[in-house]
Amino acid sequence: MTRVDVCIVGSGFGGSISAYRLAELYRAANRDASILVLERGRRHLHTDFRQSMDIEHLARVYGLVQGLGAQIVLGDGVGGSSNLYLAASLRSPSETFERRDHHPNDGPDRRLWPREITRQALNPYYARAEQALRVQRPSWNQVAKSGGLWAASLAAAGHTCDRVPQAIDLSRCIQAKWCHTGCIFGAKNSVITNYLSAAEALGVQVRPNSQAELVRQSVARPYRYVVTASQMDNEGPDATRQPSGTTFDVECKVLILAAGAMGNSPLLMRSRPFLPSLSLRVGKHLGINGDHIAAVEYDERKVRDVLRLPGYGQIYKGNHITTMSYDWWAGRTGNANDGKRFTLQEIYLSQLAHTLYDDARAPAGAPSWWGLQKKQALSTFNNHVEILAMVEDTHDGEFLAPPPSGSHVRPNAGPVGIGPFNYQLSEQSLQVREAANAAIRSVVERNGLGRLMEPTYRNVSAAHPLGGCRMADSKSLGVVDHQCEVFDNPGLFCMDSSAIPTSLGVNPSLTISAVAERAVERLIARGADYDLPARPAGFRPGVPAVNIGPHVTPRRSSSDAAVDAKVRSYG
């Protein structure tokens, strides 16, 4: 049995932020950090990542969980999904926190977020996370080619566009557009370069290949919880990525669950016999941040003639996400507009994604997955751009019976697993997605710039799972309170995406980080109540140092004036 003051399950944004902030408390109190982070995946250096869609690499860093009606992408490894996110870092609009719309049969009419959580209340924590993640807004000269094309398309259709702040060090970024398989250059500010590495420097222990399986109450006060974890077989060329059969227990005074929206619910549901006071809402209200994606196939001639952008090929160059429009959100205040708002963001995915779309050619309803038309669509991938609509939907998913181990069943060493959840879009969620499609179509087709291409598959597909342990004003409506503490279970927290009660209208990483920053600050203020160090007078949170670690340094030719000029402009 390992005994620590604080056990943290998961090492993504929520887990790393809570680890670092608590480690600061221990340092300020002149105590050795008694903090252990359990991570299901293995540890990756930047040099372990690859600019490749090779299935063996994807299986090491990703999980693709297929449920009933949805497939959800997860990060797998120390640092969680921060290793693979596209670094778009935006504050959620104020209307998000005032929403009252919800899924049918989801309780009375009320504000969905706890009354203490507003945009104004989160602003200091947004700022704190932006500092730690080194968020910066690119200039118009620094946006990707695909982002510039989307901005020009919006302008031609009479709409506005803005640049997207990014958690990327632009002085190290070479615009390779492989953020989604891990940044080999260490330019993207994943938590392994800031919060988590800084926490380890302060004495936090991170134990990779350790999957939490069960939580029960401890009888040995001041310890409150015992976590049983499996040792995972993740290392070596023949790794099974399954539990090895070896388990161990960790006893702790404070337990922070940060295994994400897809991890916390199955863990708590499996632990219910030992935590009988858990809310009946555990596992309900799973969301996907309103993700709705479509592609645009641009007509190169129209891009030249209408947008006056000659020679605008190779739009796959540059960062994944650099521009977006709020025109279908801004000005739509008040609860009468809840569930109708959305943003439209340019997002360039990997070449693999281009196989997913319908050919968008007549006749409607004809086979579109195979055949000459499909080949024709694929042949123009250089002119494809994805548009991500982030809509206000109603968190339509629900976990079923949890698997006996982990968060999903992984039948082999590949990346695909079977998730015990159901996801059926409500009428509101369908309608707002149709409105987003219509908006994209109006932008690109009114001047003949291109055609909208919808996904051929009909399941929901997303990389931004939220909820399942949502925060609420009461136990009858949610699982955790505004401080992310589980109702009626003192010292047990869900500080991550699982606590977020609604879609956010923007990429969720910065809001998850801000909510975690706020929750851990409040835990630190009450630390003595949980037998942790008391907060010293004058204690202030700092900014985690940058520690890139081993990474690839790109070789530059002195004759490559264009590249050198771009790099200088980032300085």
Residue 309 sits in a domain of what CATH number? Answer: 3.30.410
Specify the number of domains making up the chain. 2
Lowest mean pLDDT among 55-59, 240-244, 561-565: 561-565
- Cβ count near 281 (within 10 Å): 23
pLDDT reading at 7 higher than 80: yes
**Whole-prediction pTM value?**
0.94
Residue 516 and residue 495: Cα distance in Å, rounded?
A: 5
- Output DSSP code: residue 408: S
Residue 96 and residue 466: Cα distance in Å, rounded?
A: 14
Across the strands, what pairs with 486? 480
Q: Are residues 126 and 76 in the same domain?
A: yes
What average pLDDT does this structure show over 269-274?
A: 98
Grade residue 464 by pLDDT with cuts at 50, 70 and 90: very high
Q: How far apart are the first and last CA of the chain?
A: 50
Q: Are residues 54 and 107 in the same domain?
A: yes
Question: Which residues have CB under 8 Å from 91's CB, separation 6+?
Answer: 119, 122, 123, 126, 506, 510, 511, 514
**Residue keyed to tokens 């900014």:** 543
What average pLDDT does this structure show over 320-334?
A: 96
Q: 174 lies in a domain?
A: no
Q: Are residues 376 and 254 in the same domain?
A: no
Which of 435, 459, 483 represents a domain boundary (last residue)?
459
Q: Are residues 328 and 475 in the same domain?
A: no
Q: 121 lies in a domain?
A: yes
Which strands form 342-347's sheet, in the order they lie side by side? 162-163, 323-325, 342-347, 384-391, 291-298, 450-453
* Contact present, 253 and 222 (Cβ < 8 Å): yes
Q: Are residues 150 and 265 in the same domain?
A: no
Lowest mean pLDDT among 72-86, 132-146, 429-443, 444-458: 444-458
pLDDT of residue 568: 34
**346: nearest Cα among 315, 309, 300, 382:** 315
Q: Are residues 10 and 106 in the same domain?
A: yes
Q: In CATH, what number is assigned to the domain containing residue 23? A: 3.50.50.60
Per cent of the chain over pLDDT 90 is 75
Q: 354 lies in a domain?
A: yes
pLDDT reading at 556 higher than 80: no
Q: Are residues 94 and 73 in the same domain?
A: yes
Q: Are residues 335 and 415 in the same domain?
A: no
Q: 569 lies in a domain?
A: no
**Residue keyed to tokens 């949170």:** 541
Q: Are residues 43 and 75 in the same domain?
A: yes
Domain housing 477: 1-132+179-289+396-424+464-555
Per cent of the chain over pLDDT 70 is 92
Q: Are residues 382 and 418 in the same domain?
A: no
